[in-house]
Structure 1
Amino acid sequence: MGRYVARRLLQLIPVFIGTTFLIYLLVWALPGDPFAGKCGERPCPESFVAVMREKFNMDDPLFIQYGKYLLNLLQGDFGETFSGTSVGTLISNAYPVTIRLALIALLFEALIGVIAGILTGLRGRGFMDNLVLVSTLFLIAIPTFVTGYLVQTVFGLQLGWIAPTVSGNASWGELLAPGFVLASVSMAYVARLTRTSIAENKRADFVRTAVAKGQPQHRVVGVHLLRNSAIPVVTFLGTDLGALMGGAIVTEGIFNINGIGGLVFRSIARQEGTTVTGVVVLLVIVYLVMNLLVDLLYAVLDPRIRYD
């Protein structure tokens, strides 16, 4: 196991360099003048533009720019915005909120999606199965901004059960409704994925053998069936954490959450390439770490998998 982890960590290095370079290339190769509108209605003086281009290494070849950025990144320096604000400070203020929101959404996915998938997968066709299939199809078909608007209007403005917007502190309780909205589409996919996996594995030989040995139903389902069926679900949940954090722009906008989504949206509108690059680099790190953890969980869920 130790050798496998060390090998995987070494494999993450070229993946990290390759993905961050592509991100840097796509962000800084966008057409347009990044200094347009930075000096009000008048164009910025040439002296100011020259100083800013030198500060952000914009006159260097792209490979040299990326090399300097990567060296600073390895030292924990995410750079500065055009206004002189530290990108690291912006991220440290916005990232904890988005992490809490994504974790709540992931919890909704795991609980509701997996439970619904298990119930329908074990019982087969019937009222519950049809109800879950129709409900998940309904969630998948409706855009997230529509779901968020309905939850905000019905439960926030009409019934008064939740706050229509989230305060600056963004406590765990305030993020429950936005977390459910953020998780709605992925929750539907988890339910369908769990249902399909349970339905396939309950006819497998190892399940029939466990039943033939007279093992209790809860042990057959919990130990044999569920563990083997959880591998594709765990894969989806592990990789979905980064997607939830990166895709929270709409949800954060609806509930007025000051998180990563709003930060990225404002940075794109202002052509703040340093901020966009820093946020996406952190999302890449989340994806890589979660992918490694998911691979390690495979050996826990399925005893046939061994990392020698």
Structure 2
Amino acid sequence: MGRYVLRRLLQLIPVFIGTTFLIYWLVWSLPGDPFAGKCGDRPCPEAFVAAMTAKFNLGDPVVVQYGKYMMNLLQGDFGITFSGISVGDRIATAYPNTIRLALVALAIEAVIGISAGILTGLRGRGFLDNLVLVTTLFLISLPVFVTGFVLQIVLGFELGWIKTTVSESPAPWGQLIVPGFVLGSLSMAYVTRLTRSSIAENRRSDYVRTAVAKGLPQSRVVGVHLLRNSAIPVITFLGTDLGSLMGGAIITEGIFNIKGIGNLVYRGILSKEGVIVTGVVTLLVMVYLLSNLIVDMLYAVLDPRIRYD
């Protein structure tokens, strides 16, 4: 296992360099004036443009700019905005809210999605199975912003059960339950369907029939043999979904006024602050890579037939 983890960590290095360079090239090679609107309605003075160009290495080739950016990033420096604000400080302020929101969404989709998938997968066709299938299809068809607005209006304005906005930083866990449900609603529907199909397929496997023939209790057959093998595709989806939840939280954070990195990226795009967009997306790339590594290591825990030698 140790050699496998070391090998995977070494494999992550070229993947990280390739993805971050592509992101950097896409952000900083876009046509347009990066200083447009930075000096109000009037064009920026040439002296200011020249000074900012030299300060942010905008006159260098993209490869050289990327190399200098990565050297600073390895030292923990995400750069500064055109207005002189540290991007690292902005990320440090916004990141806790987004990671909390993503963890709440991940927990909701895992608990509800896996539970509903297990029940319908074990019971087979019937009223509960049809109800779950219709509900998940409804969630998949419904855009996330519609779900957010409906829950905000009904639970917040009409019933007064929740606060319509989450403006505190760091945001309290309790106030993130409804936004987390909104963020994870689509993934929860996919987890339910994936768990249901995996359970239904593995129920007919030879190892399950063997365990039943040996006289093992139903709880052990389901809990040890069936669920562990059926959980592999679900764990794969959940592991890769953490980065998606963090990167796709722009709409949810906007609806509930959560000061997270989604809101930060949106403002960075509007203000053409490429250094903010690059820093946040680079952080998300690291989350994706590490979550994939953790998922791969969990395979051997769930399925004893998998060994990393």
Q: Does TM-score exceed 0.5, indicating one fold? A: yes
- Secondary structure of the 2:238 match is helix
Alpha-carbon distance between aligned partners in 2 of 1:258 and 1:165, rounded to the nearest angstrom: 10
> After superposition, where does 1:1-308 map in structure 2 within 5 Å?
1-169=1-169, 170-308=171-309
Q: Deviations over 1:166-201 (max 9, x none)?
A: 132310001111000000000000000000000000
- Secondary structure of the 1:84 match is coil
Q: For structure 1, which segment, 298-307 or 167-176, has the greater mean C-alpha deviation from structure 2 after superposition?
A: 167-176
CA contact (8 A) 2:108 2:181 kept: yes
CA shift for structure 1 position 277: 0.3
Letter in 1 for 2:100: R
**Sequence identity, in percent?**
76
Letter in 1 for 2:195: T
Alpha-carbon distance between aligned partners in 2 of 1:46 and 1:20, rounded to the nearest angstrom: 31
Alpha-carbon distance between aligned partners in 2 of 1:168 and 1:258, rounded to the nearest angstrom: 8
Residues matched between the structures, number: 308
Alpha-carbon distance between aligned partners in 2 of 1:191 and 1:213, rounded to the nearest angstrom: 30
Letter in 1 for 2:207: F
* Unmatched runs of 5 consecutive residues or more in structure 1: none
Alpha-carbon distance between aligned partners in 2 of 1:86 and 1:187, rounded to the nearest angstrom: 36
- Secondary structure of the 1:233 match is helix
CA shift for structure 1 position 267: 0.1
CA contact (8 A) 2:167 2:259 kept: no
- Secondary structure of the 1:174 match is helix
Alpha-carbon distance between aligned partners in 1 of 2:115 and 2:18, rounded to the nearest angstrom: 38
CA contact (8 A) 2:239 2:291 kept: yes
Alpha-carbon distance between aligned partners in 2 of 1:125 and 1:53, rounded to the nearest angstrom: 65
Q: Deviations over 1:194-221 (max 9, x none)?
A: 0000000000000000000000001000
CA shift for structure 1 position 292: 0.2
Q: Deviations over 1:245-300 (max 9, x none)?
A: 00000000000000011000000011100000000000000000000000000000
Alpha-carbon distance between aligned partners in 2 of 1:26 and 1:129, rounded to the nearest angstrom: 45
Alpha-carbon distance between aligned partners in 2 of 1:76 and 1:32, rounded to the nearest angstrom: 29
CA RMSD of aligned residues (A): 0.5
Alpha-carbon distance between aligned partners in 2 of 1:181 and 1:263, rounded to the nearest angstrom: 19
* Unmatched runs of 5 consecutive residues or more in structure 2: none
CA contact (8 A) 2:24 2:66 kept: yes
Alpha-carbon distance between aligned partners in 1 of 2:110 and 2:223, rounded to the nearest angstrom: 16
Runs (4 or more) in structure 1 with deviation over 3 Å come to none
Letter in 2 for 1:32: G
Alpha-carbon distance between aligned partners in 1 of 2:276 and 2:167, rounded to the nearest angstrom: 24
Alpha-carbon distance between aligned partners in 2 of 1:50 and 1:272, rounded to the nearest angstrom: 17
TM-score w.r.t. length of structure 2: 0.99
- Secondary structure of the 2:175 match is coil
Q: Deviations over 1:131-185 (max 9, x none)?
A: 0000000000000000000000000110111111113231000111100000000
Alpha-carbon distance between aligned partners in 2 of 1:5 and 1:236, rounded to the nearest angstrom: 20
